[in-house]
Amino acid sequence: MHNSRCKLGALIVATLISLASVPVLAFSTDEINQTSLQRDFKLLDVDSDGKLSAAEIKKDSMFDFRSFSKADKNHNGSLNQDEHATYKSKVQQEEAKQAASDSAITTKNKSKYLIEKNFKSFKVSVETKDNIVVLSGFVDNQATKNRAEQIATSVKGVKSVKNGLLVKP
């Protein structure tokens, strides 16, 4: 009895998931992005005049004064939908590229730790943000701490290493 109820529950969940994913499959990623950019624009355009003033764009954390003037291609002091979408999707692409490069650095770093002798890599946490590696966790001695930093520094693409490892014999 209990078992069949579980199965029914699982079936319902599976059906809901498949139903939920249908509309998503109907759009390409670009179309979804376009739609979300249009929605962003409408939300920011408080006075609905079809353009974003510097004051209106302030609510979007992606924009500061510099990025606003960069995005304002025709230099008329406001962003139309096209200027907004062009700039924002460019920034999003750059962010995605950066995230991919950061995770590649983390993976490379971790695999170097794995093959390092006498190195308890599972105790060391590696995080990468904007090509800067942050190490945290525990090592047995100062030499290992230094070695961990040396290895991280040697990974291609690494700008700098913040060594937050704690020595705990």
Residues that bind Ca ion (CB under 5 A): 45, 47, 49, 72, 74, 76, 83
Whichever of 80 and 131 has its CB closer to Ca ion, that residue is 80
Instruction: Give me the least distance between CB of 75 and Ca ion, in Å please.
Output: 7
Strand pairing category for 51-53 and 78-80: antiparallel
Answer whether 148's CB lies under 8 Å from 118's CB: no
Instruction: Give me the least distance between CB of 151 and Ca ion, in Å please.
Output: 48
Bridge partner list, 161: 133
Whichever of 60 and 149 has its CB closer to Ca ion, that residue is 60
For the CA atoms of 100, 102, 105, 107, what is the dihedral angle to 10 degrees? -70
Instruction: Give me the least distance between CB of 73 and Ca ion, in Å please.
Output: 6
Whichever of 56 and 102 has its CB closer to Ca ion, that residue is 56
